[in-house]
Amino acid sequence: MNIALFHQDAIEDQLIREIEKSHAIVSIEKKTPRTAVLELKEALNIEQRTHLRNLGVLHQTDVGFLPKHFKGSDIKVLAMDMDSTLINIECIDEIADAVGKKKEVSEITEAAMRGEIIDFGESLRKRVALLKGVPASAFDEVFSQRLRLNPGAKELIAGAHAKGIHTLLVSGGFTFFTHKLQVQLNLSETHANQLEIVDGFLTGQVLGNIVDGEAKAAYVEARCLALGANKHAAITMGDGSNDLQMMHGAGLSIAYRAKPVVKEKADLAFDHVGLDACLDLL
């Protein structure tokens, strides 16, 4: 069983000693000062994994569990969610703020991301309907004034490209923002939802098929297949329940500042380090 440790600056020897008190460590490989991989003699149960993650919190260190099938040199695709993963905001909530409906929209967003609303498409249509009459110019204000890349985003994309990895942004958000980010970061491929705009104002409708959890997973699998590989060749990153399908079965799944339901099922949960920390494993 291999576990990975990630710290913003440097892995503490004290943490490794504490892990060693309850688990037999076969080997320790320090990938970089901030990242180490420990091979444990035995597999871990759920309680032991929870204990190690809690131990990591005490040392401001993210503790993750590498799947047996994960091999850094095999990774060909990096697939990411956009809102609250690659960027710092939920774009739909900020657009709603333009018409004083942020609270109403964000409550639905939060419920959907926590997995309390099963049908993501339905939740998106409800939120978009509340945006009827918003001027399209609000998009530019959100992008320029409110949207920021999360820590390590630029480094993550640049590092992935340097290794020849295909970068895929799959979002339940909107094409206006994914297209802007594709240009800004030179992303290989993006998919998102398109809002209907008539005479410069939102109609409250979504055009075409909705990019939900199932669609995200399909885009990841299709890109891996096109590159002559299976899903084990993908790293997937997300924060909400609609990311779980694309994360399931990936070479490595990463929950970034994620909802509890996502942290529980992801291989790695980044709460202390930036997005680019995963590059240390490649």
pLDDT digits (tens, 9 = 90+) for 158-192: 999 999 999 999 999 999 999 999 999 999 999 99
Angle between helices 102-113 and 120-129 (to 10 degrees): 170
Spot the catalytic one: 13, 74, 81, 280.
81
Contact 267, 253 (CB under 8 A): yes
Helix ranges, 146-232 (H): 153-162, 175-185, 213-226
CATH 3.40.50.1000 in the chain, residues? 71-282
For residues 15 and 52, give the distance between their C-alpha atoms in angstroms, rounded to a whole number.
10
Answer yes or no: is pLDDT of 233 > 90.
Answer: yes
- The reported pLDDT for the residue numbered 237 is 98
- The reported pLDDT for the residue numbered 98 is 77
Query: What sign does the dihedral 192-139-208-89 (CA atoms) show?
Result: positive
pTM above 0.85, yes or no: yes
Spot the catalytic one: 83, 93, 97, 280.
83
Rounded alpha-carbon distances, angstroms, from residue 199 to 4, 69, 133, 224 = 52, 51, 10, 40
CA 180, distance to chain mean position in Å, is 18
271 classed as catalytic: no
Longest dimension (CA), the chain: 66
Options 3.40.50.720, 3.40.50.300, 3.30.70.260, 3.20.20.70; CATH of 1-66: 3.30.70.260
CATH number, span 71-282: 3.40.50.1000
Average model confidence (pLDDT) for the chain? Answer: 95
81 classed as catalytic: yes
Beta bridge partners of 226: none
CATH 3.30.70.260 in the chain, residues? 1-66
